[in-house]
Amino acid sequence: GASKGGVWSWHSGDTPVPKKDPDAPHGKVELKKKVTLLRGISIIIGTIIGAGIFISPKGILKNSGSVGMSLVVWIACGVLSLFGALSYAELGTSIKKSGGHYTYILEAFGPQMAFIRLWADVIAIRPAGLAVISLAFGQYILEPIFMPCGVPEIAIKLATSIGITSVMYLNSMSTSWTNRIQILLTFCKLLAIVIIIVPGLYMLFKGETKNFENAFEVSNIKLTGLPLAFYSGMYAYAGWFYLNFVTEEVENPEKTVPLAICISMAIVTSCYVLTNVAYYTVMSAEELLASQSVAVTFAEKTMGNFSVAVPVFVALSCFGTMNGCLFAFSRIFYVASREGHLPEVLSMIHVRRHTPLAAVIILYPMTVLQLFVGDIYSLLNFMSFLRWLFIGVAVLGLIYMRYTRPDMPRPFKVSSSFIPAIFSFTCFFMVFLSLYSDPVNTGIGFAISLTGIPAYYIFIVFDRRPKWLQKGLGNTLPTSLLCSHISHYQFKPPEYSLFSPHPSILNGVARQAGR
């Protein structure tokens, strides 16, 4: 049919009628580069610092056996995490595509390995991880209201649902406001940590050092427990890789990504170590191990009635982690759809808001479903080791590509292969530790991930799929969705629709067809 100004209006009978839309955007519709250095730092810090440092840092103390050794573990885990972050900085500046682990495994080892990682993400890891941190938000946002009684479970889940919904709405409506809120919440987290550090160090300088006497008592150090202590510490620092999930939206990624990663890791490591020093100044090792929420116990000892504000800070910290994680997770689905590993609709961008709306929303029903009907914590136990397995594989891919693709531009390069090798070895050691310490749950998680192999051949490789499957996964899905649900909107030709496919979607589909 004829068009006027390149804009179409769809009516019943699928007859296109030309209509001018003065507000329609011109040019290529894509995700905008709105992640500055400050926003990048807020994404990393905001996702690393969750509820753990406020609630229960006792896992490291319990397994290390002494105050001094636990502080050494906190510092060592910060250094090891920095090694991983530097490796990801090289990957992020060499492969300027969003998607993080998925993209790097795809580039280094091909589509099948990348799809297995994606499969585990979609069916379990991402929805369960988001549900768990959201439950912590629901618990702590209501705690001041119900004190001194416990919070009813149904109230927690309702508050959690409201929190998830608000984060989904924010990420769907505006990338700029998502990043602004993330910066604000990151400052709230750092303020909460400063509120703990300052009185703790003040008491330390006044001479409260009795809890540090014999800090490295040899008889208390548990060498057999140190691997588990490092395991807990590495989990506390997890999150340094989230900026790599949104590389395409970072301004000047060659400089911003490495700088944001290094600044963030320095801030987080300092905060973690000083916070633990403050805890040990006020509480003995026995008191810390007996506490259910270390920050609350600390506040009761030092701040009196002000301790009621601590749960609010913890809730804000959890909300910031929810916001940062969802912002990053949606980009994995967006990139995977662009590569032909997920339905095409997930790679479509809202033409005015410039957000991957479908990729954001897809997590909502899965997260809420797991929240109300699933055993989330068991699921996380099944799948947790997979995170470190695939991060180790991604960093191993960095070393591999140095030999297979030596001419690849590397604006930022880790000076020695020793750093990525040490970090990759650490990841694989933690995977082995999971197999040794909890073989049943780890085995179940490994079996769940292996279901990605038949899924890859069913959904990606086989050309002769059932018609219902083609209709659900093929190109007809976005078309039918757009026509049936938003037919009252005006459209440009497909590359400028309300949800616009990324320009490289055809390249991804072509690569899949070639495979």
Q: Where are the domains of the chain?
A: 37-463
> According to the model, what pLDDT value does residue 8 have?
37
Give Rg (Cα) of the chain: 24
Residue with tokens 């955007």: 25
pTM of the prediction?
0.78
Q: DSSP letter at 14?
A: S
- Local confidence pLDDT in tens for the 515 residues of the chain: 444 343 333 343 444 444 444 434 455 555 667 788 998 899 899 889 887 788 768 888 888 888 888 899 999 999 999 999 999 999 998 988 888 889 999 999 999 999 998 988 888 778 888 888 888 898 888 888 887 777 888 898 899 999 999 999 998 888 888 888 989 999 988 998 998 999 999 998 988 888 888 777 766 677 777 788 888 888 889 888 888 888 888 888 888 999 999 999 999 999 999 999 999 999 888 888 888 778 888 888 888 777 788 888 888 888 999 998 888 888 888 888 888 888 888 877 777 777 888 888 888 888 888 887 766 666 666 667 788 888 999 999 999 999 999 888 888 888 778 899 999 999 998 888 877 777 887 788 788 888 889 988 888 887 545 555 555 554 433 433 333 333 233 333 333 333 333 434 334 433 443 33
Alpha helices (H) in 95-214, listed in sequence order = 101-109, 111-120, 126-146, 153-173, 175-205
Q: Which CATH class is domain 37-463?
A: mainly alpha
pLDDT at 381: 66
Give the burial string for 410-421 (b: 16+ CB within 10 Å, else e): bebebeeeebbb
Maximum distance among all alpha carbons in the chain? 85
Produce one character per residue of 162-175: b if its CB has 16 or more CB atoms within 10 Å, e if not.
ebbeebbebbbebb
Alpha helices in 213-309 (DSSP H): 226-237, 253-282, 285-290, 294-302
pLDDT at 467: 56
pLDDT of residue 15: 43
**What single DSSP character describes residue 501?**
E
b/e map 436-475, b = 16+ CB within 10 Å: eebeebbebbbebbeebeebbeebbeeeeeeeeeeeebee
Sequence-ordered list of residues with C-beta below 8 angstroms from that of 392, at least 6 positions apart, any chain: 423, 424, 426, 427, 428, 431
- Residue listed under structure tokens 């090792």: 285
pLDDT of residue 479: 38
The residue among 370, 322, 33, 317 whose CA lies nearest residue 169 is 322
Rounded-to-integer distance, Cα 206 and Cα 315, Å = 32
Sign of CA dihedral 140, 146, 148, 153: negative
Contacts of 194 (CB under 8 A, 6+ apart): none
343 in Cβ contact with 353 (< 8 Å): no
For position 217, what pLDDT does the model report? 73
CA separation for the pair 392, 389 (Å, rounded): 5
